[in-house]
Structure 1
């Protein structure tokens, strides 16, 4: 039975018990977890608040060594953690291993940032006076994460937040509770003092209620959230009432433009991975391929052939994708399939893979899990739900364009702004697309999915509020700038009022 942890100790609760199951084998119970109530989350924030000041007083390079310890522990347990990710959320084992490596990379990067939490010395306009800036931790951060990347994405928040001297209350997704428990155990054994990291398992409504109360009591100073746009809006509104700016990493409808100058085989390879990797359940998954009309038919023929020949099934084996993450995502994905209309063109079956709706070459037994057919829908366009809305499943739309300006307009039309891609051999196309696209991330001749630990990650519009994770840019989420004005002249000097003025001879003219 998994439990929440407050102040370094497991909490005995009398709440509802839920079960986390393997989505590839629904009869395989991975874990059971007791849900916390709203007051538990508030108590976790109090625990974090008590621990935070002492943790902030630990020199940043020493905090960096703790982060290095965590990375070493993750690396030493990498295969076990990857196998758990595959078992609990159904991610293909190769992807799970890559996800665990991302934690290691993140820790390695932020070890160095412990020695680079730089401030500045700023010249003063007054004599005998020095100006300085310092980074200060924000205080207590409440981090709420999704389960499609159950260990990598939490590390994007936890590692920099802890490095910067904050204490954390972490609320993971319930369908990845076992992965969260494993992450917590690895982190605290890296040398974190009790109370610096607290883990709370709770449902969405309870989390929102507890967060609201903790904000009211002044116990939370930063909120980080990865999840749906709808929930992100609600969290943004709640934080706004407390004059806080949360870190919101939300959904995406990520476009891929394929120009007439593209390497079509490379574009197909990118679309296959971007659209169907993790069964299309990434925030960076490909939403719509926007193909130049002159190469549409050839691209579509090759893309369909690649999808038809891809291995799908048992995630412990070498497959393109495995099951959907959880029953709730299966329900929402089936709703998205209902958006396919008479004007759209679809080849092949829709819905769940089963004995009555088989897939050739399926790896394993489709009857054991939440396995769904890959779907390509040609002919989508503005006004279609399928074009406008995130589907979060193995479905990719296709449309055409004539000019690159039209392609950019189509790419921006859904209002998301997370990831994007363009396939072309024309440099002019690349820079025209980069200037015009609203996305926070642009790939050239590469997939919409895939991020490196030292590059800023985040989106705009319906995809987020402009905050960025990863790399040095995330430090601005978990620190506040403090300005220091030190006057050692022995008298009061008034800025702007006593500045020495050097007069110019404005009457001078060149002969």
Structure 2
């Protein structure tokens, strides 16, 4: 529905949506965890939180559910995810709207995030009949060797505010099809959307029937303390955690200490390269969305841009004009393209980074707080910063709409500059030169988990495995063969002969 020029009571609308989706008001009223809408800065919920003991109990329940669920045939498990996809389609408008209310996304991005959920359900349903293992050539006659894939156990999911529902679905859809149970700790900044997802899943499970055991999917609400219980619990063999590199440095070693698996989706100081042959109209549009979309609060946001000296003076003034003219406003009431930052801490971090950029010789356009009618919400003018070199804050990820622009002349050198940051998530190059494009995608090119040609750094599809290298964590979610992380592999050898030949020609004869 159109919301232009319509004043929205965010607290009441959030409550109405939650009620429509089947969330009991007792879950988000009278509790000790406050939920705020960045759209206005108003409190929209007070959630009941779980204790460490509650969390441990829910993990035990999930483990019991797993022991039943793992014996349900995989195509039957896929039927549950098909029903979840149906429920998400039916709830897309409401859940997408709630994402916009609680995370501050513009309407199309809120709906787009729910579409990602629907897409991964479709992917996982097909996957439920494709959990293939290999048949392997054996050196021993009368033998067959193969690999099989089995359910792993309870999968812990820790998600961030910027994609409050999609990241859960990337993990849950694959984990449930793989035969696992899921325990989800959402961000403290976006817990209401998690309650909504839980209600939607419960509807799908009720339609599915008794084969879906109690505790198969659970949401735990609380702070870092319950996250630590999830990370440290011996019955959680895999944790998928999305957040900062700092968080990953804590979570990763804790999981390694008990030999648990980790899927870490951490920082992304992503860059684009604009070459002399680039289609500048295409590049302009891709850079604008990649750098300003979601108010710069995507892990795949473009934060660095290297422009060849031959096209710098043509492209950069057009970018500056786009930054100065882009619409900023309440995403629930206007068709603006840029919504709010999540909170004051994000705004303060942005201002600090811009001050540091100026101290390093940067020329800043934008970055100031925008007046959008609320003193408790933090809207900003996206900032474009022309830098003399890649130094200072350019080397760090700031989760805000800041694009650092630098000039380059040599292709080999710009590849080195591109790779000279800690994170390695997403990257892009704009060129019509085949050699440059292929070099960027080669082993000596981009060192990121995602490398694109003539498309921006943001907007990954679920069909490809999502994740990055270096300080991004190295894990993969969503498409391709990411499902293997949620299962355990067994190598099997069957002897159907009457002899017992040993591998490698070993002889061990006994009477």
Selected match of 2:126 from 112, 135, 142: 112
Quote how far apart the aligned CAs of 1:129 are. 2.0
Match of 1:6 in 2: none
**2:498 is aligned with 1:474:** no
Looking at structure 2, the residues matched to 86 and 26 of structure 1 have their Cα atoms a distance apart, in angstroms, of 13
Question: What residue in structure 2 maps to residue 197 of structure 1?
Answer: 217
Describe the shift of the 1:32–1:431 C-alpha distance in structure 2 as closer, same or farther (beyond 3 A): same
Q: Which range is displaced more, 142-151 or 333-342?
A: 333-342
- Listed as ranges, the matches of 1:206-217 within 5 Å are 206-208=226-228, 210-214=229-233
In structure 2, distance between residues paired with 1:14 and 1:368: 21
Deviation at 1:300, TM superposition (A): 1.1
Quick one: distance in 2 between partners of 1:428 and 1:459? 24
Structure 1: runs of 5+ lacking an equivalent: 4-8, 355-363, 500-511
The residue number in structure 1 matching 2:492 is 484
Distance 1:10 1:322 in 2: 27
1:321 aligns with 2:370: no
Q: State the SS of the aligned residue for 1:131.
A: strand
12-21 or 476-485, which deviates more:
12-21
**1:231 Cα deviation (Å)?**
0.5
Equivalent residue for 2:465, pick from 456, 463, 473: 456
> Which residue of the partner structure matches residue 303 of structure 1?
319
Q: 1:418 aligns with which of 425, 450, 456?
A: 425
- Is the contact made by 2:156 and 2:236 (CA closer than 8 Å) also made in structure 1? yes
Instruction: Report if aligned partners of 2:231, 2:251 keep a CA contact under 8 Å in 1.
Output: no
Question: What is the CA distance between 1:206 and its match in structure 2?
Answer: 3.8
Q: For 1:358-398, what per-residue CA distance to the aligned partner results, in whole angstroms no more than 9, with x for missing partners?
A: xxxxxx535462101211110153331x2100011011101
Deviates more, 1:308-317 or 1:398-407: 308-317
Q: Distance in 2 between matches of 1:241 and 1:162?
A: 26
RMSD: 2.4
Structure 1 residues 258 and 131: alpha-carbon distance in aligned structure 2, compared to 1, 3 A threshold: same
Query: What residue is the counterpart of 1:382 in the other structure?
Result: 390
Asked whether the 8 Å contact 1:30–1:87 carries over to 2, the reply is no
Q: Which whole-Å CA distance do the structure 2 matches of 1:101 and 1:283 have between them? A: 18
TM-fit CA distance, 1:329: 2.4
For structure 2, list consecutive stretches of 5 or more residues without a partner in the other structure.
1-13, 19-23, 206-211
Distance 1:11 1:492 in 2: 65
Corresponding residue of 2:169: 155
1:188, CA displacement in angstroms?
A: 2.3
TM-score (structure 1 length as normaliser)? 0.89
Deviation at 1:153, TM superposition (A): 1.4
Distance in 2 separating the partners of 1:293 and 1:249: 34
Which structure 2 residues correspond to residues 83-162 of structure 1 after superposition, within 5 A? 83-162=97-176
CA separation of 1:204 and 1:115: change in aligned 2, threshold 3 A:
same
Are 1:275 and 1:286, in contact at CA under 8 Å, matched by a contact in 2? yes
Change (3 A) 1:198 1:301: same
What does 1:158-169 align with in structure 2 at a 5 Å threshold? 158-169=172-183
| Residue 271 (structure 1) shift | 1.1
Shift of 1:497: 2.3
Structure 1 residues 276-355: aligned runs within 5 Å: 276-316=292-332, 317-354=334-371
CA contact (8 A) 1:293 1:402 kept: yes
Count residues in correspondence: 479
- What is the CA distance between 1:350 and its match in structure 2? 3.2
Whether the aligned pair in 1 keeps the contact of 2:354 and 2:364 (CA below 8 Å) is no
Q: For residue 464 of structure 1, report the CA deviation from its aligned partner.
A: 1.5
1:338 aligned counterpart, secondary structure: helix
CA-CA distance at 1:341 after TM superposition: 2.3
Q: Find the residue that maps to 2:193 and give its secondary structure.
A: helix
Any conservation in 1 of the 2:364–2:386 contact (CA below 8 Å)? no
Q: How does 1:219-230 map to 2 (within 5 A)?
A: 219-230=235-246
Mapped pair 1:408 → 2:403: no
**Alignment correspondent of 1:357:** none
Partners of 1:263 and 1:423 within 8 A in 2: yes
Contact preservation (8 Å) 2:286, 2:456: yes
Q: 2: CA distance between counterparts of 1:370 and 1:278?
A: 13
Structure 1 counterpart of 2:437? 430
